[in-house]
Chain A
Amino acid sequence: MTEAVAPMPAVSDLVEVRNVDKVFRRGSEEIHVLGGLDLAIPAGDFLALMGPSGSGKSTLLNLIGGLDRPSQGSIIVGGERIDQLSNRRLAAWRARHVGLVFQFYNLMPMLSAQKNVELPLLLTHLSRRERSKRAALALDIVGLSHRKNHFPRTLSGGEQQRTGIARAIVTDPTLLLCDEPTGDLDRKSGDEILNLLQALNREQGKTIVMVTHDIHAAARASRTLYLNKGRLTTEPEEFAVQATAQTRTPDRA
């Protein structure tokens, strides 16, 4: 299941999205989610992506993370055109370079926090002992060492999300992609998660792209971009009112 992947070279713009279209087909109907989109994300950036439901935020995040492929255009991450990689190489690339944080945590319910965090390490050649050591370290970073043997159902939402973040950083990826990481949490737990992401960005230099509906969460990022009708803008006005009303509304677009 493992494949050797070269380390990501140092580049000024870690992510380059060039003229990307994304079209979904539902029967004979074509839904244009993204059209001619360009975006550059420098290494070490903490970018917040905001926009109304259906604007294509999660789709863009999926394209940057290699979870989906563009209908047209190119996605270059660390100098590599990931949209041209085979499925197998793309999977190996994700395992090596991308950490994913989901709104609903997406932990395996039958595995303890420790084993959940160890999952991405199964794809490496690390020994069992080393995997366990690294997972313990990741849990320590997110402040969950004392809960490592607990199963997701016995953890609070905030603790589950911290476990999700530990799983995302356990392979020491270059890029962290967070889809509504605070969307299912109360304000206090949400703040703890945002503190953690900020620390990972500032202290460990992780490049973070965070999709959010929450303007308070977006305020923690270095910068915010707004996506509307498949196009990126830096203009918040049109979206601000709508975003406030939709804060904490699950968005899977």
Chain B
Amino acid sequence: MKYLFLLWSNLRRKKTRSVLTVLSITVAFMLFAYLGAIRQGFGQGIDVAGLDRLIVRHKVSLIQLLPAAHEARIEQVEGVVDAMHQTWFGGVYQKPTNFFPQMPVVPEEYLAMYPEVLLSDEERKAWLNTRSGAIAGRTTADRFGWKVGDRIPINASIWTRKGGEQTWEFDLVGIYEGAERGTDTTQFLFRYDFFDESREFGQGLVGWYTVRIADPERSAEIAAAIDGVFANSPHETKTEAEGAFVQGFAKQIGDVGAIIMSIVAAVFFTILLVAGNTMAYAVRERTGELAVLKALGFTDRGVLGLVLGECALLTAIGGGIGLLLGWLLVGMGDPTGGSLPLFYVPPRVLVTGIVLIAVMALLAGILPALQAQRLQIADALRR
């Protein structure tokens, strides 16, 4: 700490250059935090996916449906505790951009399978008693300003009603909260019995099953057993862990995580060159001063430490401000207006950010620092 004033004074030497470098680092880390939150949003559910839950879908693809009768046969597989089905509805509210996941489910089964979905007893009872009843997650309800008692029209793109009617109307009987931060609160859930009797086609077919198993360590074995039950049937299945399923679902629109990481990597590489260039100039300009420090008794390693420390200070200021700004920006809300089920900077992104600050300081400063370390006093003083 006693060298801090020396490091700080060096950064103040060329104020414009230092400020511009800090700003570029700030922008990079702000982008890192912000894109980290978006990436988290797209990969929603992966982290909170239950280890004791498996997803059973059609072997060919997710859009191929499975008979509702599979449920009873799945529940008979040894190790399976419970099973329930969901179906992708794919409608929009008022306009195409107002998109969020909607699924018909059996309420009791769904609420038992997903205890992280919190609904009051009154709302639960109302849902069970109302055939056209639906519940919405807090994020979606807030997004559209819905309140319990509202009648919600959803325009179907896949499932038309009998008679060709595309608009489905639901009575909002509850708004659920998530028990965990990562719980998806963008869903709109309505009753399967109402859906099944009202849809024009596909009666008795469902999208996929969620299966709870007794022992997560046996998940691979149980998944194989389930798939074995339906092998060589017209509706063969593919069973996988819920986390893998959610990840695969997100990848339907492309590997957003990989795209974001590519952008972040390119930005960081550029900023690394900027910071490295700044430090190289700073050391070159101060060759004489570094030699004087050595003449006064600073060791080679000491001078190396000073240069690295200066670089660390530069990146810590820029990176720290950047992460903070990114966090504040994310706090201002989802850029899609609520389409992302989750939008927050996960702690691991902040930790990674801090590690990246240290790595950037080291990479940007190491060459100039080694140059300073190797400086011969008499030679440098003669220059």
Contacts and interface: CB of A to CB of B under 8 A. Distances in A.
Interface of A: 1, 3, 59, 62, 65, 67-68, 87-88, 91-92, 94-96, 100, 102, 106, 108-111, 115, 119-120, 122-123, 128, 167, 252
Interface in B277-319: 288-289, 292-302, 305
A94 B288 CA distance: 17
A92 B299 contact: yes
A141 to B, nearest CB: 18
A199 B300 CA distance: 34
B378 interface: yes
A106 B2 contact: no
A252 B12 contact: no
Looking at A96, A123, A128, the one whose CB has the most chain B CB atoms below 10 A away is A123
Contacts of B292: 102, 106, 108
A128 B3 CA distance: 11
A123 B298 contact: yes
Contact of A95 (B13, B289, B297, B382): B297
Contacts of A120: 296-297
A252 B299 CA distance: 24
Interface of B: 2-3, 5-6, 9-10, 12-13, 288-289, 292-302, 305, 376-378, 381-382
A212 to B, nearest CB: 17
A106 B297 CA distance: 15
A91 B297 contact: yes
A167 B293 CA distance: 12
Contact of B381 (A67, A96, A110, A128): A67
Given A67-B378, A67-B381, A94 B5 contact: no
Given A108-B289, A109-B13, A67 B377 contact: yes
B10 A100 contact: no
Contacts of A67: 295, 377-378, 381
Nearest to A94: B297
A226 to B, nearest CB: 22
B295 to A, nearest CB: 5
What 4 pairs across the A-B complex have the smallest Cβ distances?
A95-B297, A110-B9, A1-B302, A68-B378
Given A67-B378, A106-B289, A110-B10, A91 B299 contact: yes
A102 B292 CA distance: 9
Contacts of B295: 65, 67, 94, 100
A95 B301 CA distance: 15
A110 B12 contact: yes
B298 A115 contact: no
B378 A91 contact: no
B298 A106 contact: no
Nearest to A22: B378
B296 A68 contact: no
Nearest to A123: B297
A119 B296 CA distance: 8
B291 to A, nearest CB: 8
